[in-house]
Amino acid sequence: MGPELMLISAGLQAVGTLASAHAQSKAMKAQAKINEQNAKMAREAAYREEARQRRESQRKMGALMARVGKSGVTATGSILDVVEESALNSEMDALNIRLQGAQKAWGFDAQADADRSAASNAMTAGYISAASTLTSGGYDYYKATR
């Protein structure tokens, strides 16, 4: 292969390397966006489930208080303790739903961050590889024309 063809070949290889790095980076950025959407959906689903849990809890507490009132027993002493404990347990359930949603969203956010980092690394590696190819091609051209 002539020296000029070696130089052209190195240039084409460098362009190919950059195009490949760009495609890989673009794919990783797209995956990051998907993970961001998944995080958003996880948060929204947790908020909806938390609200549903609270509504259900309020409904049950209302039914319990109605039964207590219907029985003629006053809401004092051990009955009041049961009602308070039930309310606390219901609130803990709602907060656990929120926590689980936040943890799930955090996982998606962390993956999105990793994807964005991988996209950046792919481009950096592409630039380095292209520069190395061009340098090597330039050196080979230099040696061949000397």
| Residue 64 and residue 86 in contact, taking contact as beta carbons nearer than 8 Å | yes
| Residue 116 and residue 29 in contact, taking contact as beta carbons nearer than 8 Å | yes
**Domain carrying residue 58:** 3-145
**How many CA atoms lie within 13 Å of 42's alpha carbon, on the beta-carbon side?**
17
Is the alpha carbon torsion for 120, 121, 126, 132 positive or negative? positive
How many domains are there within the chain?
A: 1
> pLDDT digits over 47-101, tens only?
999 999 999 999 998 888 888 778 777 666 777 788 889 999 999 999 999 999 9
Q: Is the pTM of this model over 0.75?
A: yes
Angstrom distance (rounded) from CA 113 to CA 39: 12
| Residue 2 and residue 118 in contact, taking contact as beta carbons nearer than 8 Å | no
